[in-house]
Amino acid sequence: MRRERTPHAVAWWIWAAGLALAALRTSNPLLLALLAAAIVVVCVARTPRDLQQSPLATFARVALIIILVRVVLQIVFGQRLPGHVLFTLPSVPMPSWAEGVSIGGPVSIEGLLSAITGGLRLAVVLLAFGAANALASPRAVLRSLPGLLHEVAVAITVALCFAPEVLASVRRIQQARLLRGRPTTGIAGMRGIAVPVLEDALDRSIQLAASMGARGFGRRPVSVSLARERTALATLILGSMILLVGGYGVLAGSSVVPGAAWLAGLGLAAVCLGVGLSGRRAARTRYRPAPVGLRSVACGASGWLSALLVVIAGVADASSITWSPWPLSWPQVTPLAFAAVVIALVPLLVAPGEARVAAARGTKIAVS
Amino acid sequence: MIRFAGTWFRYGSSWVVRDLDLEVADGELLVVVGPTGSGKTTLLKMIDGLVPHFSGGELRGDVIVAGHSIRDTPPTELAGTVGYVGQDPAASFVTDLVEEEIAYAMENLGIEPAVMRRRVEEALDLMSLHELRDRRLTTLSGGQRQRVAIAAVLAAAPRILVLDEPTAALDPGAAEEVLSSLTRLVHDVGMTVVLAEHRLERVLPFADRVVLLDGQGGMVAGEPGAVMADSALAPPLIELGRLAGWSPLPITVREARRRCGPLREALAELPTLAPEADGGDVVAKTDGLCASFGNLLALDGVDLAVRAGTITAIMGRNGSGKSTLLSCLAGIKEPSCGNASVGQTPPADLSAAERIRTVGFVPQEASLLLYAQRVDEECATADEEHGLAPGTTAASVTAIAGELAPDRHPRDLSEGQQLALALGIVLAPAPRLVLLDEPTRGLDYEAKRSLVAILEMLRAKGVAIVVATHDVELVAQVADHAVVLAQGEVIANGGAREVICHTPAFAPQVAKVLSPLAWLTVGEVAAALEGSPS
């Protein structure tokens, strides 16, 4: 068995999901900003260097756009919230049937702040997702899916590989059109590019299908009964649905779904049962599965511990995680909430930096 | 190991394979040759069951592969017996890392993890890939991708390896690398290898036996020397052997060199070869040209002058900046420093219409230039777009491609015809500078001969031509000047004869045989022996 050198890909995604959950539970902009900082610090320090462009940068850009859009919408269409008026836009009177909507009017600091906070919450969730993408490629996660979901995982992997291929093909065809002095923009250009790109994509998928077939994809062992496989799949799907409903109830944090925690537990158990039923199918083997050890557990757990601390901080003192601009005041972060941010940084301790990973690979020196 | 027993196959109405009887012995390296469209790929795909299971079509007779009839064994079931590597290795990649790609087939076959681990290491070693094991597939060069694709099928420990044009996209060095890995497999592992190839000069020395398809459904099989003796498709080495009357024909440069003493003496006394034409005015020029893609510097200070009425060949490894240089000259890539100019103006500053009248560029995939559903429609739209009198393009196409059926779909034409059609369209506005990127890729000897004739005709008309190519025999035949690029820098620039004779990797076969004499082609030698300078 190989020794674990870096946390498992799935552990990174679990860590990120925990932090996204923590962000969804709070409306305190200071706490949100601290969580965002923690995510960025861990991601920048631990992203593999061979990535050409870190997905984090892309997601950060999208997050920023979301905040900006929310602010602009608040200024132009937003509800006219009371407070200290910054400036007043010329307003358009609305007919009586559209009473809820307003255009223009007075813009208050409080209204802007609440828009920014709302945007910030979404931005942190996006950052967490971007960090997960950068720290462990989604393909590595798909590789770890249980055998039952193998076909689905392959389809997603192929689609993920496909996107950059299509982009490259678009670029090639655009260049060729330039050479003949044909338009590359506008409707005529789009049509002229779309048709060959689709032809290209179709060609490619046929070739890929042939290659996968020739390399044994879709072989089924004779020994596994179809009935058992179906039972496993049904259990898995049912379990995921129950888990989804229960999980929603837990996240919503109110009495929307009665017994949400129990439902979530039941769903999880069903999912595990489904995976267990299918896991013994010996059709495929896995090459060098990444080992799971203390590092992975610590990494995954730290994200959820962070979320738990935010919840506990809220129970202890509701004002520490919820914040509203009425009346205008500085957001406060209690020690418990701050601890949640510190815990989110645990992966910095358990995941070795890039240089140490490289050294460990090259010379097989165990990383302490 | 493989037996074709009275095999017939067709997709549509005409038979691609007619009554084929062929046996491939265990541990043999068989090379399949033949003109474009003669059914090479179909024959190879049959060995893996991809034809007829993936392609459709009608199969009569049978193919027995390691005891399985392909009629009732789908490719999936043959995965552990036959490894198939297609023409474009990148299109067959399923995963994104070298190591995972190599393990993919074994995972599907359900091979024990411990065995799998060992076999991956073996495959990495056999294909000399161990340094690339953690790399992403998209970051690899053409030769490396080809080697990964071979390693990926090897790891599943097949008994038969089938390769379709494994060196088509590779520079001479990388091709050598792939072919020597294959010979190692045949000699050390005892694998049976069947491969198809257009560039006979590259593969013939490695072949145990050759199958020659004539394109009408007939075929000849036998020892390379015997099959080549009366084959219309022949590499320069064989042609030289025929000219000198050697029998049996030499298959390797080494054999030929040991026999060519008298010929060399006879040639040494002949008058020196005519010097290359200087050409006319400078048509295109680059000055300290640099170009980059993101952080990657593709061209680094290239100085070059292209004169009217000359053919300049640009050579170099895969990824050395050849295509980028052409793109800069064509004005579709902005230089990052220095400048490129055609006439007096940088081509990037020209309007689309002016650019088409000044520079003609045929990219690597010539078919990208063709859009219409019919050949005549293609010519008519080209006239319209280039502002030419109706019929100009059609005339230009006929001059180059010969008569093409006007109602054919351009995608249904052979590679050579597609190239000729694209070239005809590009040449219709009579540009002064013509750029060709890897024009001989996928062309058989016949199509290549007509390309050479077209290039010579253009040169006589005073057009300046720049060809980026891996094909040293093409360079030997037509080029006046040769430029060798490495890492975006010019490392050799001068007369073609001088440059390619002094660079062992790029020397054509005739030069290798007759060195230190600087003869490049069989045509030259034949003309000199007849007493008239070429």
Is there a contact between A219 and B110 if contact means CB atoms under 8 Å apart?
yes
pLDDT digits (tens, 9 = 90+) for B118-146: 999 999 988 888 889 988 887 787 778 88
pLDDT digits (tens, 9 = 90+) for A291-302: 889 999 999 999
- Choose among B42, B41, B48, B49: nearest CA to B9: B42
B226 and B238 housed in the same domain? no
How far does CA B94 lie from the centroid of its chain? 25
- Interval B213-240 mean pLDDT: 85
B188 and B253 housed in the same domain? no
B226 and B100 housed in the same domain? yes
Which residues from A are below 8 Å from B77, CB to CB?
A: 219
Is there a contact between B96 and A181 if contact means CB atoms under 8 Å apart?
no
- Interval B160-178 mean pLDDT: 87
Any domain includes B511? no
* Confidence band for B532, pLDDT divided at 50, 70 and 90: very low
Each domain of chain A, given as residue ranges in start order, spans 9-216+226-281+296-363
In DSSP terms, B493 is beta-bridged to B483
Which residues from B are below 8 Å from A139, CB to CB?
A: 95-96
Per-chain mean pLDDT for chain B: 87
Phi and psi (nearest 5°) for A124? -65, -40
pLDDT of residue B533: 45
Is there a contact between A210 and B99 if contact means CB atoms under 8 Å apart?
no
pLDDT digits (tens, 9 = 90+) for B291-349: 988 777 889 999 999 999 999 999 988 888 898 999 999 988 889 999 899 988 888 88
Which residues from A are below 8 Å from B92, CB to CB?
A: 207-208, 210-211
Cβ(A114)–Cβ(A9) below 8 Å: no
pLDDT digits (tens, 9 = 90+) for B48-65: 999 888 888 899 999 999
**Residue of B229 and B22 predicted with greater confidence:** B22
Strand order in the sheet with B433-437: B359-362, B433-437, B464-468, B311-316, B481-486, B489-495
Which residues from A are below 8 Å from B426, CB to CB?
A: 179
B107 and B188 housed in the same domain? yes
Any domain includes B276? no
Q: Which amino acid appears at position B73 of this protein?
A: T
pLDDT of residue A163: 74
Is there a contact between B99 and A288 if contact means CB atoms under 8 Å apart?
yes
In DSSP terms, B33 is beta-bridged to B212
Which residues from A are below 8 Å from B99, CB to CB?
A: 287-288
d(CA A292, CA A2): 10
Looking at chain A, which residue has its C-alpha nearest residue B382? A180
Which residues from A are below 8 Å from B104, CB to CB?
A: 215
Any domain includes B358? yes
Is there a contact between B94 and A211 if contact means CB atoms under 8 Å apart?
yes
- Interval A101-119 mean pLDDT: 85
Is there a contact between A219 and B79 if contact means CB atoms under 8 Å apart?
yes
Cβ(B51)–Cβ(B82) below 8 Å: no
**B residues 115-134 closer than 8 Å to A (CB):** 116-117, 120, 134
The answer to whether residue B93 neighbours chain A at the CB level (below 8 Å) is yes
pLDDT of residue B277: 62
- Choose among B189, B190, B181: nearest CA to B126: B181
Mutate to test the interface with A, among B101, B124, B368 (most CBs of A within 10 A): B368
pLDDT of residue B275: 59
Is there a contact between A213 and B54 if contact means CB atoms under 8 Å apart?
yes
Which residues from B are below 8 Å from A196, CB to CB?
A: 368, 371
B336 and B447 housed in the same domain? yes
Question: Which among B412-421, B474-483, B503-512 has the top mean pLDDT?
Answer: B474-483
Number of structural domains, chain B?
3
d(CA B446, CA B253): 23
**Residue of A217 and A51 predicted with greater confidence:** A217
d(CA B119, CA B140): 22
User: B412: which 2 tokens?
Assistant: 């249904």
- Interval B76-101 mean pLDDT: 87
The answer to whether residue B293 neighbours chain A at the CB level (below 8 Å) is no
d(CA B75, CA B85): 13
Any domain includes B409? yes
- Choose among A87, A109, A32, A30: nearest CA to A326: A109
pLDDT at A160 over 70: yes
d(CA A236, CA B284): 67
Is there a contact between B107 and A285 if contact means CB atoms under 8 Å apart?
yes
B534 and B414 housed in the same domain? no
Which residues from B are below 8 Å from A195, CB to CB?
A: 371
Counts of helices then strands in chain A (DSSP H, E): 14, 2
B480 and B522 housed in the same domain? no
**B residues 343-382 closer than 8 Å to A (CB):** 352-353, 355-356, 361, 363, 365, 368-369, 371, 382
Any domain includes B274? no
- Interval B166-170 mean pLDDT: 83
| Inter-chain Cβ pairs, chain A and chain B, closer than 8 A | 146
B476 and B335 housed in the same domain? yes
B99 and B239 housed in the same domain? no
Q: What share of chain A has pLDDT > 90, as a percent?
A: 26
Strand order in the sheet with B160-164: B82-85, B160-164, B192-196, B29-33, B209-213, B219-222
**B residues 401-440 closer than 8 Å to A (CB):** 425-426
Smallest Cβ–Cβ distance between A216 and the set B76, B86, B371 belongs to B76
Which residues from B are below 8 Å from A164, CB to CB?
A: 138
Is there a contact between A216 and B382 if contact means CB atoms under 8 Å apart?
no
Which residues from B are below 8 Å from A214, CB to CB?
A: 48, 50, 75-76, 78-79, 82-84
Please tell me the distance in Å from B381's CA to the nearest CA on chain A.
11
Report the CATH number at residue B73.
3.40.50.300
Cβ(B176)–Cβ(B470) below 8 Å: no
pLDDT of residue A50: 62
B126 and B238 housed in the same domain? no
Please tell me the distance in Å from A165's CA to the nearest CA on chain B.
10
Smallest Cβ–Cβ distance between A287 and the set B48, B50, B106 belongs to B106
Which residues from B are below 8 Å from A219, CB to CB?
A: 76-77, 79, 108-110
Counts of helices then strands in chain B (DSSP H, E): 22, 19
Phi-psi region of B215 (alpha: psi -120 to 50; beta: other; left: phi over 0): left
B359 and B325 housed in the same domain? yes
d(CA B227, CA B234): 10
Mutate to test the interface with A, among B76, B112, B369 (most CBs of A within 10 A): B76
Taking the CB of residue A311, how many other CB atoms lie within 10 A of it? 16
Q: Hunting for tokens 């739209």 — which residue is that?
A: B381
B220 and B240 housed in the same domain? no
In DSSP terms, B19 is beta-bridged to none
Per-chain mean pLDDT for chain A: 82
- Interval B486-509 mean pLDDT: 88
pLDDT digits (tens, 9 = 90+) for A53-92: 778 888 999 999 999 999 998 888 877 777 888 888 888 7
Please tell me the distance in Å from B217's CA to the nearest CA on chain A.
25
pLDDT of residue A366: 38
Any domain includes B275? no
Residue B527 CB contacts under 8 Å (≥ 6 apart), including other chains? B533, B534
pLDDT digits (tens, 9 = 90+) for A322-368: 888 888 888 888 899 999 999 999 999 998 876 555 544 443 433 33
Smallest Cβ–Cβ distance between A204 and the set B91, B352, B371 belongs to B91
pLDDT at A238 over 80: yes
pLDDT at A1 over 70: no
Residue B436 domain boundaries? 282-502
Is there a contact between B138 and A178 if contact means CB atoms under 8 Å apart?
no
Cβ(B375)–Cβ(B421) below 8 Å: yes
Cβ(A160)–Cβ(A133) below 8 Å: no
User: B148: which 2 tokens?
Assistant: 């990964």
User: B24: which 2 tokens?
Assistant: 């491939």
Please tell me the distance in Å from A358's CA to the nearest CA on chain B.
11
- Interval B395-416 mean pLDDT: 83
**Residue of A253 and A183 predicted with greater confidence:** A183
